[in-house]
Amino acid sequence: LRGGVLRRSVLGWRRAALMTNYDGGASWQEAGPTASPAVMGTAVTALGTGGSALFDQTRAVEVELLNDAMWLESRSDEALLSGANLAVLGEELIQFGVAKPIGDRRLRLSRLLRGRRGTEWAAAAHASGEAFTLLDARSLAVIEPPLSVLGGEVLLSATGLGDPASVIASRTLTGEAVR
């Protein structure tokens, strides 16, 4: 975000067609297109263990965004309590009140709300190099797998125009999103 508007001209971003599979690759179903580009990066430092009951005012994490078109902004406590600046860091959902630029594409995130939406269990398992993604409704493609596949593996295929091959990702469907 820069000046309150998500910059859509993210370098190299092209939409892709999504397909899902719940039976080990035997049959695929269309899942629609990808959404707008997300603000993504990696953690440069490891976020220390923290609780989820109060604002964490002692710990911070430094992130490096993928390119210069991406940006993060600070938000007020009121905005945070309304859901602003929700991000996934590793497996933990966090919110950050302060996004302080510290270098090219690097920001120090602090004034944190930790373990959001039931991810307290992931608050002690951080490492440098883990993925960071700002969760914004405009950049999320919603895929609703059938509840009958909970505990099984879901495959997601993304194929962009002109791509030589599909990119396929797999994940065990644990039901975290249902909770």
pLDDT 10s digits, 12-33: 556 788 999 999 888 999 998 8
Q: Is the pLDDT of residue 10 over 50?
A: no
Q: Is the pLDDT of residue 2 over 60?
A: no
Q: Is the pLDDT of residue 165 over 60?
A: yes
Report CA-CA distances (Å) from 52 to 87, 98, 161, 169. Answer: 15, 17, 42, 30
- Comparing 30-34, 165-169, 173-177, the range with the smallest average pLDDT is 173-177
Report CA-CA distances (Å) from 121 to 32, 95, 101. Answer: 32, 16, 29
% of the chain surpassing 90 pLDDT: 45
Q: Which of helix, strand or coil describes residue 178? A: coil
pLDDT 10s digits, 95-112: 999 999 999 999 999 999
The answer to whether the beta carbons of residues 43 and 63 sit under 8 Å apart is yes
Q: Is the pLDDT of residue 34 over 90?
A: no
pLDDT 10s digits, 112-150: 999 898 889 888 889 999 999 999 888 888 888 888 888
Task: Give the separation between CA 106 and CA 37, rounded to whole angstroms.
Answer: 19
pTM: 0.77
